[in-house]
Chain A
Amino acid sequence: MKKKLISVLLSTTMIATILGGCGGGSNNNSSSTPADNTSTESNAPAADSNASTGDNAATGDSAAAATDLSSDAGQVINIYSFNTEVRDRINAVYPEITEAGESQSKLKDGRVINWVINPNQDGVYQDKLDEALAGQMSAADDEKVDIFAAELDYITKYTDADIDAAMKLTDLGIDPNTDLADQFDFTKTVASDQNGDMRATSWQACPGVLVYRRDIAKEVFGTDDPAEIGKKTSSWDELKKTAEELKAAGYYTLACYDDTFRLYSNSMAQPWVAATDTVVKVDQQIMDWVNDSMEWYQAGYFDPAVSGQWNSDWYTAMSPDSKVFSFLFPAWGIDTQLVPNWGDGAEGSWAVTNAPAAYNWGGTFVLAATGTDNPAYARDILLCLTANADSLTKISQEYADFTNAKSVMQNAATDAAFASDFLGGQNPYEYFTPGADNIKMAPLSSYDQGCVELIQNSFHDYLKGQVDLDTAKANFETAIKERYPEITEVQWPE
């Protein structure tokens, strides 16, 4: 009997310890309720103080009618983004921040901003964001997504009016016609939903230019003057002649075929997939890109040791030993790609000039999530980041962004304060700003990211001579249907 008792004891303790894991979970739950209580308790005094500040604000209400930040219920502002870009810029320019931090920034009234950062690669960011947005309505107030960032390639997914993941700017209290009047028009178009209501806003526009090596230009053409070189790169035909000269001297004009892709895709007449359609229509521009790339590749104008972007070969092509003459980049490309990869190379070795075609590449937009518990703060942050001339000037100077304000950029084009040491004292805005005026955005669809990625992948094999054109087309069809199961057909231009 005694033995039995002991064995019962032993086994129950064992099971108890094994189930301890689960028990821990339930403990957490039970302990989280008091935690909730305490947080609501802490909410209460906060609300009180809010009320008092509200009173204070009420006295100066007519003056500060613009933003009554204390009206927000939430104590925590969650900002989702895919890199540190948004965080760094808000930390730099938002005046309410008293203590800027890597994972949390404190605000004047005791509220905090949480930075939730997940990488873009492999769709990780979108997965996390989608999950958070799906649970938005049931989430506790301080867990709700308040503001999130989206790249141009997938912005339509979040600006869709039917899904209503992001608030209309007008509902938020931002009037695009007055508050955002200084923004470039194409950035407003792409930030609008299918009904024409703006749901996103950006602090940057990304007109692209051609960035070239001064030392190579001097050696081959005898000059590194951007105006002179600009004549040699003003159109595809001119650039081809230039490429022949560079080739004779042992240099490559561009690193690889993907470098020119955005110049073609930006001139597409129709979106990849029309709204509510399930047919991918490949534009003639894309086929032009394929054919021209083939010609250029075989002529030896691209570096044969680079296949595709965003890999180590491509980065190496930006280093001082490289024989690549130029890259097609918007402002962010110079700051985030060229500068780090150039490394120890002599400063002032690069310069910018006009690209053979006007184009826009990328851009980060910020959106206020539907269901946010901090609409006043969301409005304030969005306005401060994307519509305030002072903060935009600061961003341009500190982060070399081409910011989304016509007047600021017009001034920058003639202001010597915007000259860059990396570009040998040249003021790149001289070329960015006229570029921005000429941009006509290709119509977007929510399939853009997959289409761009997969069409480049599929045609690499063709360009390298591994498969014929029809196989490359078939491979794209297979891949796109895998990525987006609802796609029924792919139509190619005649």
Chain B
Amino acid sequence: MKQKNKKVNYSKWGYIFILPFFLTFFIFSFIPLVDTIRYSFFQYFRSGLKWIGPNFVGLENYKSLLQSDMLRYAGNTFILWIIGFVPQIVISLLLASWFVDARLKIKGQQFFKVVIYMPNLIMASAFAMLFFALFSLKGPINSILISWGVITETTPIDFMGTALGTRSLVGVMNFLMWFGNTTIMLMAAIMGISPDIFEASEIDGCNSFQRFFRITLPLIRPILAYTLITSIIGGLQMFDVPQILTNGAGSPNRTSYTLIMFLNDHLKSKNYGMAGALSVYLFVVSGILCYITYKITNDDDPDGSKAAARKRKKMERRMK
């Protein structure tokens, strides 16, 4: 009896210890979250110094958002994200597998690890400012090109004046900022694979390509999934880099205008109703994306279908 009591008490203390977190979460995250959803059903904004609303308008905000260019901005966000993500994951995988490869024995590993992580330590906005200055019409890049004779002074390249230029710059920045972080994460994942497997494969005459695609890649899939999910969520929230690079306009012709910049413009006009509705859309979309990604990558069978895996497990059990 006594024994049992003790156990109950301990778990109770556990709850009490984590209570502060839940209290703060409830006050500072949960209540604002519910409030956001509530305001999304209201017309509520400020005109000059006058407040308009809150008037209940039902789903009006959601409807007018669908009629706006929201989907186009979602497309922009996706394009900007994918331009940065593809090179990021490729380079990171390559670097990670080189760094942990026992046979390559790269010297100064620690140094390189620090260097590739560096860009992530710079504030995104500062990084964007730097690129803005570098690639501006009278900036150093144009000056260098002029002095090399590639272009003349009357025809400077307007990097941020074209959709391709702006999007590429945003992609490059996101790539530079995040590939170090991803590399280190993937290195940890690869180091977690038992060296026995690599040794065994080598004895069996496995070449480095086979080793990478048939051993490394499948075995780090959970971490890859994690990288993908966090990157998608980060990508959905892409804001500071394009905002500062294009001065909040997403120029030219709003081709680099992301969803959060759209949200920011609503908040600038203190349009809490519309901003709330947009946030709810984003919340739902990121929820769905996470679920899909999790499902796809978390399957533990090679065929890619969970049903097949379950079937095979049953078969195995029967065999026993």
A449 to chain B, nearest CB (A): 11
In the complex, whether B133 has a CB less than 8 A from a CB of chain A is yes
Which positions 153-177 of chain A face chain B at CB distance < 8 Å?
A: 157-158, 160, 162-163, 165
Residues on B with beta carbons closer than 8 Å to the beta carbon of A467: 252-253
CB distance from A145 to the nearest CB of B (A): 13
- Whole-angstrom distance between the Cβ of B20 and the nearest chain A Cβ: 4
**Which residue of the partner chain A has the closest CB to B265?**
A482
Interface residue B274 (Cβ < 8 Å from any Cβ of A): yes
Beta-carbon contact of A312 and B138 below 8 Å:
yes
Q: Is the CB of A312 within 8 A of B52?
A: no
Q: Does A234 contact B (CB under 8 A)?
A: no
B154/A483 in contact, CB under 8 A: no
Partner of B48, one of A11, A18, A157: A157
Interface string of B107-118 (1 = CB under 8 A from A): 000000000000
Residues of A within 8 A of B142 (CB): 305
CB pair B137–A466 under 8 Å, yes or no, is no
- The answer to whether A485 touches B49 (Cβ under 8 A) is no
* B254 CB contacts on chain A under 8 angstroms: 475, 478
The reply to whether the CB of A72 lies closer than 8 angstroms to some CB of chain B is no
Q: Which A residues lie within 8 Å of B158 (CB)?
A: 307, 464
Complex partner residue of A482 from B138, B253, B269, CB under 8 angstroms: B269
Residue B148 at the chain A interface, CB threshold 8 Å: no
Interface hits, A456-473 → B, CB 8 Å: 457, 460-461, 464, 466-467, 471
Contact A11 B17 (CB under 8 A): yes
A133 in the interface, Cβ–Cβ < 8 Å? Answer: yes
Given A163-B50, A312-B133, A475-B253: A485 touches B138 (CB 8 Å cut-off): no
Q: Which A residues touch B161, using CB under 8 A?
A: 307, 464, 466
B49 contacts A483, C-beta separation under 8 Å = no
Per-residue CB contact flags for chain B residues 234-257 toward chain A (1 = under 8 Å, else 0) read 000000000000011101111000
> How far, in angstroms, from A366 to B255 measured CA to CA in the complex?
40
B20/A160 in contact, CB under 8 A = no
Determine which of A157, A317, A466, A486 lies in contact with B49 in the assembled complex, contact meaning CB atoms within 8 Å: A157
Q: Which one of B46, B154, B251, B262 lies within 8 Å of A461 (CB-CB)?
A: B251
Contacts of A311 in B (CB 8 A): 136, 247
Would you list which residues of chain A between 1 and 37 have a CB under 8 Å from chain B? 4, 7, 11, 14-15, 18-19
A471 vs B163: C-alpha distance when bound (angstroms) = 15
B156 close to A305 (CB less than 8 A): yes
- Mark each residue of chain B from 3 to 47: 1 if its CB lies under 8 Å from any CB of chain A, else 0: 000000100010011011000000000000000000000000111
Chain B residues in 8 Å Cβ range of A15? 16, 19-20
Could you say which residues of chain A place their CB within 8 Å of the CB of B13? 7, 11
Bound Cα distance from A130 to B249, whole angstroms: 25
The 0/1 profile, CB within 8 Å of A marked 1, for residues 157-172 of chain B is 0100111000000000
| Contact indicator B45/A485 (Cβ below 8 Å) | yes
Nearest B-chain residue to A8, judged by Cβ: B13
* In the bound complex, CA of A163 to CA of B49 (Å): 7
Determine whether the beta carbon of B68 is less than 8 Å from that of A305. no
Q: How far is the CB of B152 from chain A (nearest CB, A)?
A: 10
Given contacts A7-B13, A313-B137, A466-B162, contact A158 B268 (CB under 8 A): no
User: Does A446 make an interface contact (CB < 8 A)?
Assistant: yes
A123 to B268, Cβ gap below 8 A? yes
Chain B nearest CB from A306 CB (Å) reads 7
In contact, B48 and A485 (Cβ under 8 angstroms): no
Known contacts A163-B49, A483-B268: does B252 contact A461 (CB below 8 Å)?
yes
In the assembly, what is the distance between CA of A475 and CA of B254, in Å? 8
A304 & B156 in contact (Cβ 8 Å cutoff): yes
B177 to chain A, nearest CB (A): 22
Residue B266 lies at the interface, judged by CB distance under 8 Å to chain A: yes
CB < 8 Å neighbour of A446 from B48, B162, B252: B48
A434 within 8 A of B: no
Known: A165-B49, A466-B162, A482-B262. 16 other contacts (CB 8 A): A15-B20, A18-B20, A130-B49, A158-B49, A160-B49, A305-B142, A306-B138, A311-B136, A312-B138, A461-B251, A466-B161, A467-B253, A475-B254, A484-B269, A485-B269, A485-B274
Q: Could you jot down 12 A-B contacts, CB within 8 Å? A: A4-B9, A11-B17, A14-B17, A19-B20, A130-B49, A305-B137, A305-B138, A313-B138, A466-B161, A483-B268, A485-B271, A485-B274
Across the A-B interface, give the 4 residue pairs with the lowest CB-CB distance, nearest first.
A305-B137, A466-B252, A461-B252, A18-B20
